[in-house]
Structure 1
Amino acid sequence: MFNPAEFPTPTLISVNGVELEVFETGQENAGNPIVLCHGWPEHAFSWRYQMPALAAAGYHVIVPNQRGYGNSSRPANATDYSIDHLSGDLIALLDHYGYEDATFAGHDWGANVVWGLTLLHQNRVKKIINLALPYQARTEKPWIAFMEDFLGSDNYFVHFNRQPGVADAVLDGNTSQFLHNIFRKNVPPSPPEPGMMMINLARAEVPQGEPLMSDNELAVFVSAFEETGFTSSINWYRNLDRNWQILANVDPIIQKPALMIYGDRDVIPKSENLSDFVPKVDVISLDCGHWIQQEMPDETTRAMLQWLEHHSAE
């Protein structure tokens, strides 16, 4: 388990019209940046196990709480969380440090941002390491309508968009219980319950599986979301159709070297055509669920470092 007191002290950095709370290590390795992007409902702290090892391997490790999270800015308008804003924050962060490009790693929503960032700013991305969420090819109809057709109105992506504010209030009212229930490992497979998954998790009195982390670690997430509420982070979901429009005329093929790390027991399905869109991708699967770099930190870190070493000349 990780002692939260050992996590780096953050700096607030003004970029792209917002302030980002940024955690760093390996500053002595200036010139060799790697930017780690967290998912939902997470925090920069979710990369706590990888940061020291990447710094020891010679990287300047930059880990922002992205807009809407932690002590970073939380713009009031939902439209301020679209992929052009989220990727713009990361580009402005590179500019702040004077970096032409960087390796980017993302987990869950962070992976989605890294894919989108690369589509919009291919020349600023050196290499990609993404966890849990493979590249999402643009569908014929906007993503929320597409998901509603296939997954129904109770799917949480759809619900967040069609019933704004409803889930936010339930999660805000049950912050500790929700995070305690969602951050689990070795969850036994079971058929989906009726209703909306995130609301069900927030209300469940008995969690499934085993705790992912210690109470001290979990407290970092709980205190962050008790401070911010959930709306600003859920607003990322409320831009999926806007992102669909933004990416309409962008070349969908990513030509950068990429590593995709799956959890074999993740509920997110693996991509069947990933190499069609990311031709230089390598794929690794670990025997874990969704919270890959926290559930199997040593194996994740080793996979990242070995891949980075193998591609060091690129």
Structure 2
Amino acid sequence: MKSHTIHFPEPTLVDVNGIELEVFEAGQQNTGNPIVLCHGWPEHAYSWRHQVPALVDAGYHVIIPNQRGYGNSSCPAEVTEYDIEHLTGDLVALLDHFGYENAVFVGHDWGAMVVWSLALLHPDRVSKVINLSLPYQARGDVPWIELMEQLLGNDYYFVHFNRQPGVADAVFDEYTHQFLRNLYRKNAPPQEPEPGMAMMNLAKAEYPRGEPIMSEDDLAVFVASFESTGFAGSIHWYRNLDRNWHLLADVDPIIQHSSLMIHGERDLIPPSDTLDQFVPNVDVVTLDCGHWIQQELPEETNATILAWLKQQDANNACP
């Protein structure tokens, strides 16, 4: 699966919140109608390449940061500099940089976690929420990593990242191309769970399973980025989950914004059965794909997002 990379905007480095973010921007002629796209792990702003032309054509000023720890954005050494206050603070400062009071925010995977949290911590800076793959995670009685350890064991990758810092990071750094090649797949045949830490097993697997979701040229963008930064900064996001649980203790957990949740039918992340309790103004759409929704089904993703945004605008225009 080989082809030339598609056109993607040139980045600029923007000073925000005490760091630099590498930001890709398109549709500057649509100033006043911002939409901010937030990638997940282990991704890159480039994961939104298929959405940019459609959103620009629909009249949006598209802003795509490589978030802290990724690409040419700053990678602070301190683990706590990747907590949810810092990650959402970066996005608030990005809006300030462009002179926007608020924007539509779109998140995938970890980016969705950040966007849900942004709507909780800075509700006035978010006009609408669109999230892919990761539904709203309710804050229960037990910190998240502690709960996962109880339910899923020490080898579950969230737990492993926290309990054995540096171990997985080194494996991913050693097998960067192989890991990302093996990860970005679809239609993999089912297999029995193997012992050990699944993500590290994946990185060391000599042969990929299923079909690639992107060309070798596109994959090379992700590989080059992580070969430059290493994986530690991006994994530090996971190492703040229990800290985030404490930081969100006194925050109203209900998101009132108009929201769209897009699931992949074949994603291992299950839909939430409490989503509408915490996000009462949510619409849910399920597409026939796996986890990498906007890259697996770009046209369907674009159509879903644009139809929903158009409907929201029509609703708001009603007297």
User: If the length of structure 2 is used for normalisation, what is the TM-score?
Assistant: 0.97
SS in 2 for 1:34: strand
Aligned to 2:48: 47
Q: CA deviation at 1:2?
A: 7.2
Aligned to 1:200: 201
* 1:144-179: CA deviation from partner (whole Å, max 9, x where unpaired): 010000011000000000000000000000000000
Find out whether 1:289 has 2:290 as its counterpart: yes
Aligned to 2:231: 230
Aligned to 1:279: 280
Structure 1 gaps, min length 5? none
- Cα distance in 2 for partners of 1:155, 1:143 equals 12
Residue identity matched to 1:12: L
User: If the length of structure 1 is used for normalisation, what is the TM-score?
Assistant: 0.99
Aligned to 2:263: 262
- Cα distance in 1 for partners of 2:266, 2:133 equals 10
Aligned to 2:128: 127
- Cα distance in 1 for partners of 2:241, 2:208 equals 30
- Cα distance in 1 for partners of 2:266, 2:191 equals 12
Determine if contact 2:3/2:216 at 8 Å carries over to the other structure.
no
- Cα distance in 2 for partners of 1:282, 1:190 equals 33
Determine if contact 2:106/2:129 at 8 Å carries over to the other structure.
yes
Determine if contact 1:131/1:262 at 8 Å carries over to the other structure.
yes
- Cα distance in 2 for partners of 1:211, 1:156 equals 22
Greater mean alpha carbon deviation, residues 189-198 or residues 19-28: 189-198
Determine if contact 1:139/1:146 at 8 Å carries over to the other structure.
no
Q: CA deviation at 1:190?
A: 2.5
Residue identity matched to 1:49: H
- Cα distance in 2 for partners of 1:122, 1:81 equals 20
- Cα distance in 1 for partners of 2:273, 2:118 equals 22
Q: CA deviation at 1:5?
A: 5.6
Residue identity matched to 1:24: E
- Cα distance in 2 for partners of 1:115, 1:4 equals 31
Q: Residues 98-247 of structure 1 correspond to what in structure 2 (within 5 A)?
A: 98-247=99-248
SS in 2 for 1:118: helix
Determine if contact 2:14/2:22 at 8 Å carries over to the other structure.
yes
Residue identity matched to 1:252: P
Q: CA deviation at 1:35?
A: 0.1
- Cα distance in 2 for partners of 1:5, 1:264 equals 27
Number of residue pairs matched?
314
SS in 2 for 1:6: coil
Structure 2 gaps, min length 5? none
- Percentage of pairs with the same residue: 68
Find out whether 1:19 has 2:20 as its counterpart: yes
Determine if contact 2:110/2:134 at 8 Å carries over to the other structure.
yes
* 1:280-310: CA deviation from partner (whole Å, max 9, x where unpaired): 0000000100000000000000000000000
Q: CA deviation at 1:4?
A: 2.8
Q: CA deviation at 1:194?
A: 1.2
Determine if contact 2:162/2:239 at 8 Å carries over to the other structure.
yes
Residue identity matched to 1:33: P
- Cα distance in 2 for partners of 1:4, 1:133 equals 27
Runs of 4+ in 1 over 6 A off after TM superposition: none
* 1:195-234: CA deviation from partner (whole Å, max 9, x where unpaired): 1111011100111100110000000000000000000000
Residue identity matched to 1:244: W
Across the aligned residues of Structure 1 and Structure 2, the Cα RMSD in angstroms comes to 1.0
Determine if contact 1:87/1:113 at 8 Å carries over to the other structure.
yes
Determine if contact 1:49/1:293 at 8 Å carries over to the other structure.
yes
SS in 1 for 2:249: coil
* 1:57-87: CA deviation from partner (whole Å, max 9, x where unpaired): 0000000000000000000001000000000
